[in-house]
Chains A and B, each alone.
Chain A
Amino acid sequence: MSEITRDTVAHLATLAHIEMSEEQLQAMAGELQQIVGAVAQVSEVAGDDVPATSHPLPLRNVMREDVVGEPLTAEEALSGAPDAEDGQFKVPAILEED
């Protein structure tokens, strides 16, 4: 198990889209190190012969009939959005302006 540093957490926080202060990064590195240290033994338990289980019941993909239903209207779907315009979600600029 490699060491979890402040920089590791900074990278993970970027991937997870959570802004974190310097203090939070430091604290989280210590907490994560403890948790990962405690759970790391799972990697030593099962051999290559054990199949992985991603789901508790042996279900295959279930497809329903393709029939016309009564889904939400655009207005309903947008009702909880922080910002909307012309029947669409409105977001801040996607690209950095340089």
Chain B
Amino acid sequence: MTQNIIELSAAELAQKLAEREVTSVQAVEAHLERIAATDGRPVEADNPYAGKTGLNAFLHVNTEEALSVAAEVDAARESGEDLPELAGVPIAVKDLIVTKGQPTTAASKMLEGWMSPYDGTVTQRLRAARMPMLGKTNLDEFAMGSTTEHSAYGVTRNPWDLTRIPGGSGGGSAAAVTAFQAPLALGTDTGGSIRQPAAVTGSVGVKPTYGSVSRYGVIAMASSLDQVGPCSRTVLDAALLHEVVGGHDPQDSTSLTDPATGFASAARAGAAEGGLKGLRVGVVKELTGEGFQAGVEQRFREAVDLLRSAGAEVVEVETPNFRYALGAYYLIMSSEVSSNLAKYDGVRFGRRTLPTDGNLTIERVMGATRAAGFGAEVKRRTILGTYALSAGYYDAYYGSAQKVRTLVQRDFNAAFEKCDVLISPTAPTTAFPIGSVDEHADPMQMYLNDVATIPTNLAGVPAISLPAGLAPEDGLPVGVQFMAPAREDARLYCAGAGLEALLTQANGGPIWKDLPDVVTAVNNLPGTTSAVATEGAAK
């Protein structure tokens, strides 16, 4: 074997497994070793809230089960059993998705140590596909945030620069695939939580059409916006994973009946010679210019030029109502949050905190439990949603936001009459330093990260983010995003893989050829050295 196992894409690894060049146990062991070398140790032995000294992409590592599933796959292959395409390929799962046998915390103190008594549908499908689960990845608490700084268990670090955020909410899944801790991961995207982390870590992330992937067993944030999707390093890998987890599920009443097929073949067709010829690409005028970092704009323009040179027809489209999308999103999302999170009542699961004085009524226990169990951002959004839904304000806020949602959908419909896919930068900036945004002084500043990703969630249409290179001014990854009409997810994989091939050729290799040595960077972190030294001294 000439190439390190962890550097293989999922498709490459699947092929080597099928050809018996590598075993699944070897693949799982290689990734577990990588996690051990890069994720760090607990900063404080008895305090999980202090986080870990390294990337901190994983909240739980599922060593035993992953190895045993891998051994079963190897044995099955040995006995000649017909196996699914990705059998034996390991995967990481965002800790918002429930899994039997592993804790599910949503990165909240509210669910610390909680063991789900059932598997989510996507979890079941990973088991059916015989993919070993490496563990559960970090996120902003209940998926609320754009940095993972709102995780109760410490921030995840960006593998490109450990002092910077990996995006959010799915920063753990994006960091894991970027740092070669896993070839694949699952994320969830309510307003950009798969795509914005992909953009700032130089990885690939897809938000499928609403209803393409089941939400059963995915801890709900905002039910009319949430969607599960793949995280990977290549577009083809995302397509393969989408085919595994997608498709109809009777357990989710919003599940589409369309089969999740044809994504990988679309990716292969797009990457082939002439695959983009005649593709009509619409540049969204409202998602460029003011508020977008110069280097982000530059790499975006170059990507559009590459598409044009490959025979795509590039047009400009106007979506005048996108400017109201952020406001509408924060009202709708927070309203649904306030409703969905009412279930954390200190009765049925998770934490119960008793008030320190006075009578122990259920109301007071609930108030104390939620005060202790929720972090600041979750409280902020719950209170905002309670306000937007309260008597006297409902029509002005929630009702109006739902009308804006209609206008955003109409903008998409009009745009898709002129082109097959839309394109924009995924996030307005590259990764910024951890702790650099003061959310208390200016809570809206953080929310602006999602300005380009939110419209698709409001409209339910699918989108993919893929790396477009490094910004010249800071050397950090830039993401571009394709958007397609609902149920046309295959177009994303075609356009995405086509652009990916063009960029790889133009840049002389994939983006991760420039990734700094993460193991060295982690070992050089100030916290790591002292933690290791302390432990060494204790021995």
Tell me the A residues contacting B by CB distance below 8 Å.
4, 8-9, 12-13, 15-20, 27-28, 31-32, 34-36, 38-43, 45-46, 50-57, 59, 61-62, 64, 72, 76-77, 79-83, 89, 91-97
Q: Is B203 an interface residue (CB 8 A)?
A: no
Q: Are B383 and A59 in contact (CB under 8 A)?
A: no
Known: A55-B254, A81-B349. A72 touches B118 (CB 8 A): yes
Q: Quick check: B390 and A45 within 8 Å, CB to CB?
A: no
Bound together, the chains give a CA A84 to CA B142 distance in angstroms of: 26
Chain B count of residues within 8 A CB distance of the other chain: 75
Q: How far is the CA of A51 from the CA of B406 in the complex (A)?
A: 7
- Give per-residue flags for B380-402: 1 if the beta carbon is below 8 A from chain A beta carbons, else 0: 10111011001000001101111
Q: Of residues B355, B409, B444, which shows the largest number of chain A Cβ atoms within 10 Å of its Cβ? A: B444
Residue from the list B116, B351, B397, B402 in contact with A52, Cβ < 8 A: B402
Inter-chain contacts of B382 with A (CB < 8 A) = 16, 18
B362 x A59 contact (CB < 8 A): no
Q: A15-B386, A17-B366, A42-B397 are in contact. List 15 more A-B contacts (CB 8 A).
A: A12-B383, A17-B342, A18-B367, A32-B384, A34-B443, A39-B327, A39-B397, A43-B400, A45-B400, A46-B404, A46-B407, A50-B407, A56-B405, A79-B117, A96-B361
**Min CB distance, A96 to chain B, in Å?**
6
Q: Which residues of chain B are near A34, meaning CB under 8 Å? A: 442-444
Q: How far is the CB of B84 from chain A (nearest CB, A)?
A: 24
Residues from chain A with Cβ under 8 Å of B416 in the complex: none
Assess the A42–B114 pair: CB atoms within 8 A.
no
**CB <8 Å contact, B400 and A93:** no
Is the C-beta of B22 less than 8 angstroms from some C-beta in chain A?
no
Interface: B284 (CB within 8 A) = no
Q: Is the CB of A80 within 8 A of B348?
A: yes
Q: Which of B60-68, B275-283, B368-376, B421-429 contacts A (4 or more CB under 8 A)?
A: B368-376
Q: Are B400 and A57 in contact (CB under 8 A)?
A: no
Which chain A residues lie closer than 8 Å to B486 at the CB level?
56-57
Q: Which 5 A-B pairs have the closest CB atoms?
A: A56-B460, A46-B403, A82-B352, A52-B402, A39-B327
| Separation of A63 and B444 alpha carbons in the complex (Å) | 40
Residue pairs across A and B with Cβ atoms less than 8 A apart, 22 shown, are A9-B383, A12-B390, A17-B370, A20-B379, A34-B443, A34-B444, A36-B397, A42-B331, A45-B403, A45-B404, A46-B403, A53-B402, A53-B403, A54-B224, A56-B224, A56-B225, A59-B253, A72-B118, A76-B118, A80-B115, A82-B349, A96-B361
Tally of contacts, chain A with chain B, CB under 8 A = 184
- Known contacts A42-B404, A79-B115; decide if A19 and B371 are in contact (CB<8 Å): yes
Whether B370 pairs with A59 at a CB distance below 8 angstroms is no
Q: Within the complex, which residue of B253, B371, B402, B403 is in contact with A61, where a contact is CB–CB below 8 Å?
A: B253
- A19-B367, A34-B443, A53-B405 given; A42·B380 CB < 8 A: no
B117 near A80 with CB under 8 A, answer yes
- Distance (whole angstroms) from the CB of A89 to the closest CB of chain B: 5
Give the Cβ gap from B330 to chain A, nearest Cβ, in Å. Answer: 5
In this assembly, does B338 line the interface, its C-beta being within 8 Å of a C-beta of chain A? yes
Point out the residue from B350, B370, B400, B459 that lies within 8 Å of A19, measured CB to CB: B370
Which residues in A have their C-beta under 8 angstroms from that of B118? 72, 76
- In this assembly, does B365 line the interface, its C-beta being within 8 Å of a C-beta of chain A? yes
The chain A residue with its CB closest to the CB of B113 is A80
Q: Is B76 on the interface with A (CB-CB < 8 A)? A: no
Known contacts A46-B404, A61-B253; is-contact A16 B338 (Cβ 8 Å)? yes
- Interchain CA distance A70-B324 in the complex, whole Å: 46
Given contacts A34-B444, A38-B327, A45-B404, contact A56 B458 (CB under 8 A): yes
* A93 and B359 contact, CB distance less than 8 A: yes
Task: Return the contact of B253 from the options A9, A45, A62 (Cβ within 8 A).
Answer: A62
Q: Is B489 an interface residue (CB 8 A)?
A: no
